[in-house]
Structure 1
């Protein structure tokens, strides 16, 4: 299997979700930008996947990231980010979304479990109402402290200033 086999359009994902639901698979959903993959991301995603049978990752498009984080981001284009994320063993599907939040995608995916890091409260997680209303669960998982793309970017900038 190639990493590209795990990158889906919304309609392709809907077909795959139907298969997984028919197999009584527990669908876990999370989302993010994942601009520079680091240990914090890997740990978080492994923990998210351990909560169910299949992990669906909603990945912000380049346009979405630029609106949220500013014109200097993303550092890597969406095709690169999607391939990198799809190459991870514990991710079963990657789907891009162009909105600022994954709410519409969550309505389509209808995950059994919605997950974010413990820097969120359940009530602050976008889509929690959708998941809870259909009897699903919303969970937070502990994050590895000190790891963030923003911190990595700052460190690189500092190193460049020293040269």
Structure 2
């Protein structure tokens, strides 16, 4: 399987999720920008994948990241980020979403388990009501402290300014 085989449109993803469900698979969903992949991301996603059978990643489009994080982001385009994320062995599906939050995507996918990092409370996780209403679970996983794309960018900028 190529990493591109794990990048889905929403209709394709819904078909795939339904097929997994027919096989009795538990669907885990998480989302984010994943602009520069780092240890914190890998650790978080690996832990999230262990909560069920199939991990679906909602990935912000370039436009949504620019709206959320400002005009200098993302650092990598959406297809590069999607391909990198899809190459991770514990991610089963990647789908892009253009909204500021994954609410509509979560409503469409109806995951069994919704996951975010422990910097969120369950009540602050977008889509928690949708998942809980259908009997699913909303969980947080511990984050590796000190890793963030913003910190990496700041470190690079600091080093550039010193040279």
| TM-score relative to the length of structure 1 | 1.00
Q: CA RMSD in A?
A: 0.2
In the TM superposition, what are the counterparts of 1:137-148 in structure 2 within 5 Å? 137-148=137-148
Partner in structure 1 of residue 150 of structure 2: 150
In the TM superposition, what are the counterparts of 1:70-149 in structure 2 within 5 Å? 70-149=70-149
Which stretches in structure 1 are left out of the alignment for 5+ residues?
A: none
State yes or no: 1:49 paired with 2:59. Answer: no
Distance 2:39 2:159 in 1: 20
Report deviation, 1:94.
0.0
Partner in structure 2 of residue 13 of structure 1: 13
Distance 1:2 1:158 in 2: 37
Distance 1:59 1:143 in 2: 19
Report deviation, 1:65.
0.1
Partner in structure 1 of residue 160 of structure 2: 160
| TM-score relative to the length of structure 2 | 1.00
State yes or no: 1:65 paired with 2:69. Answer: no
Partner in structure 1 of residue 23 of structure 2: 23
Aligned residues: 163
Distance 2:115 2:109 in 1: 13
Q: Give the SS at the match of 1:73.
A: coil
Which stretches in structure 2 are left out of the alignment for 5+ residues?
A: none
Q: Give the SS at the match of 2:59.
A: strand
Partner in structure 2 of residue 40 of structure 1: 40
